[in-house]
Amino acid sequence: MYEQQDRISRSTFAAWNFHFGQIESESGEWLAAAAERGSLGFRELSCRVTRDMIALVFPLAGEHPRYGFTFEYETSKPGLPVDVRVEYSNGRDGVERETSQKSERGTLRADRGRFCYSVFDIDGLIKPGRYCYRAVAEGQLLKEWCITETNR
């Protein structure tokens, strides 16, 4: 298993404040206060994890439910790609295991801000199982979250 660190630092970027769970947009009040303080930075989709979770039950609560992960970053190379790999396993004992993998790419768009990877809960139904989300920048593992997803 990979060692999970609170802060990752390299010559071209630093990442910290890692969260995985249900994501909601920040309120207008939060955005106004951050802009007034001058600390808004680049907030990808203005998203934040409202509750850290290792198990998600679908359908998720909320009007436009989504889940995923966020982290804060600084980089000397805006545009730096972040590769996201998702591995799925149904993990049922005594049954042939179903597995799959997919990869996507995000970007550290500004010199500082919050990276957000989110998935929308479109129909409230998912394939139950274990999902592992791995974020990598310049070959460096930033964080890996393994969660269980089920339907009600």
Q: What is the pLDDT of residues 20-74, one digit of tens each?
A: 999 876 666 656 666 666 555 545 446 778 889 999 999 988 777 889 999 999 9
In 3D, which of 152, 132, 134, 131 has the Cα closest to residue 143?
A: 134
CATH number of 7-151: 2.60.40
**How is residue 64 written in tokens?**
């436009």
Q: Please state the pTM of the whole predicted model.
A: 0.80
Q: What is the pLDDT of residues 75-134, one digit of tens each?
A: 999 999 999 999 999 866 656 678 899 999 999 988 888 898 988 877 888 889 999 999
- Non-local CB neighbours of 146 within 8 Å, separated by 6+ positions: 54, 130, 131, 132, 133
Residue 42: per-residue pLDDT: 47
For residue 65, is the peptide bond before it cis, meaning its omega torsion is within 30 degrees of 0? no
